[in-house]
């Protein structure tokens, strides 16, 4: 395990004021988004769209890293350069999503774990040879009256620990992503309790497996009330919940946390990230973003009524403006609207 190189990669990804663009949707997922706006789901359209996300003029000023789908690892830009190499030339660290499909975990009421650990080492070798510097593995959990169960938490967090150790052995920085999704009616106190338990279990498992903590990054959901929670909260209350959770369980050795948007729109995600950074005090971690839908869904809206064409220049300009907002929020320097970031009971809609 080359610990020094892992730390160098982590430091690059955790550059203050920069974040991660999550472009790891598989062909089926991105195809569904294309279909809704009348764009054909071809490999060329996927390639052109991803090129726009990577090479939009000015985007690299706000991005430290990009998460790629395996398909994207082997696609090229218009100049014939593989995307991982093109990203590296722009100063953006390329990484990959190596997990496969979810499957139901026996002994639970439909809770899930991810597939792919058995072949992970071999695939990490391939991805590193293709230019990847890190990987990202997502383990989703839900909050209901009976979930997440202890069994589901333990199974998913131990899988994340095994994934992290395998990645480090193969020279890739592991980004671990325990994702407690926003669907549900749970209040903010419940969200804190569940996220504390999940993250505590994760870091205990990582210690048990001998994972090099300084060579990992946490990508996690923001600690939010459920989408259908009947209680309203301010952005500042949500920010305090996030900082409280991290302070209770997060090892100081971890260099950074990149929050996912998890169904929040850009305005709410940015307002909450901004409030989190203003609330962090002397907390040692770099707190930034790793967003997909919050950045991309407004871009797809620009494709409507364009006869199946993507207005790439228009999309590129909007995307960079979005990144400017995200970057400012990662520094606590964003100025949100008066109601942005608040949880207004029964009015949030998942993306």
Residues 6+ apart with CB under 8 A from 135: 95, 96, 97, 98, 124, 127, 163, 167, 172, 173, 174, 175
In the numeric block, which tokens belong to residue 193?
């309790």
What Cα–Cα distance (Å) separates residue 98 from each residue in 4, 5, 21, 128?
Answer: 23, 20, 16, 12
According to the model, what pLDDT value does residue 337 have?
87
Given a cut of 90, whether residue 348 has pLDDT beyond it is no
Cβ atoms of 220 and 200 closer than 8 Å: no
According to the model, what pLDDT value does residue 344 have?
84
Q: Radius of gyration over alpha carbons of the chain, in Å? A: 19
CA distance 232 to 149: 27
Q: What is the pLDDT of residues 133-183, one digit of tens each?
A: 999 999 999 999 999 999 999 999 999 999 999 999 999 999 999 999 999
Q: What is the pLDDT of residues 285-330, one digit of tens each?
A: 999 999 999 999 999 999 999 999 999 999 999 999 999 999 999 9
Q: What is the pLDDT of residues 82-141, one digit of tens each?
A: 999 999 999 999 999 999 999 999 999 999 999 999 999 999 999 999 999 999 999 999
Confidence category of residue 351, pLDDT binned at 50, 70, 90: very low
Domains of the chain in sequence order: 3-330 (3.20.20.70)
Q: What is the pLDDT of residues 3-51, one digit of tens each?
A: 999 999 999 999 999 999 999 999 999 999 999 999 999 999 999 999 9
Given a cut of 60, whether residue 219 has pLDDT beyond it is yes
Query: Known catalytic residues?
Result: 177, 219
**Which H or E run includes 219?**
strand 217-220
């Amino acid at each position: 395990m080359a610990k020094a190189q892992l730390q160098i990669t982590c430091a690059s990804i955790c550059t203050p004021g920069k974040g991660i663009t999550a472009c790891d949707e598989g062909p089926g997922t991105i195809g569904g988004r294309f279909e809704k706006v009348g764009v054909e789901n071809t490999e060329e359209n996927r390639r052109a769209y991803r090129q726009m996300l990577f090479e939009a003029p000015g985007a690299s000023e706000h991005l430290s890293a990009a998460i790629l789908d395996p398909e994207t690892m082997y696609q090229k830009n218009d100049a014939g350069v593989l995307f991982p190499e093109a990203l590296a030339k722009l100063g953006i660290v390329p990484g990959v999503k190596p997990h496969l499909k979810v499957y139901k975990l026996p002994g639970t009421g439909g809770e899930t774990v991810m597939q792919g650990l058995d072949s992970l080492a071999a695939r990490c070798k391939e991805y590193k040879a293709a230019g990847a510097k890190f990987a990202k593995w997502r383990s989703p959990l839900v909050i209901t009256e009976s979930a997440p169960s202890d069994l589901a938490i333990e199974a998913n967090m131990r899988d994340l620990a095994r994934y992290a150790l395998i990645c480090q052995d193969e020279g890739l920085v592991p980004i671990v992503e325990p994702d407690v999704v926003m669907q549900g009616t749970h209040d903010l106190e419940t969200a804190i309790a569940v996220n504390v338990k999940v993250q505590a279990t994760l870091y205990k498992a990582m210690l048990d497996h001998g994972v090099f903590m300084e060579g990992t990054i946490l990508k996690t959901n923001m600690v939010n009330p459920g989408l259908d929670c009947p209680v309203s909260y301010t952005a500042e209350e949500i920010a305090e919940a996030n900082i409280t959770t991290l302070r209770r369980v997060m090892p100081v050795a971890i260099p950074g946390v990149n929050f996912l948007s998890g169904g929040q729109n850009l305005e709410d995600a940015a307002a909450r990230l901004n409030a989190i950074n203003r609330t962090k005090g002397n907390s040692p971690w770099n707190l930034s973003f790793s967003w997909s839908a919050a950045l991309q869904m407004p871009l797809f809206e620009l494709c409507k009524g364009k006869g199946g064409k993507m207005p790439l220049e228009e999309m590129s300009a909007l995307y960079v403006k979005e990144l400017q907002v995200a970057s400012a929020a990662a520094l606590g320097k964003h100025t949100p609207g008066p109601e942005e970031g608040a949880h207004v009971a029964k009015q949030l809609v998942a993306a």
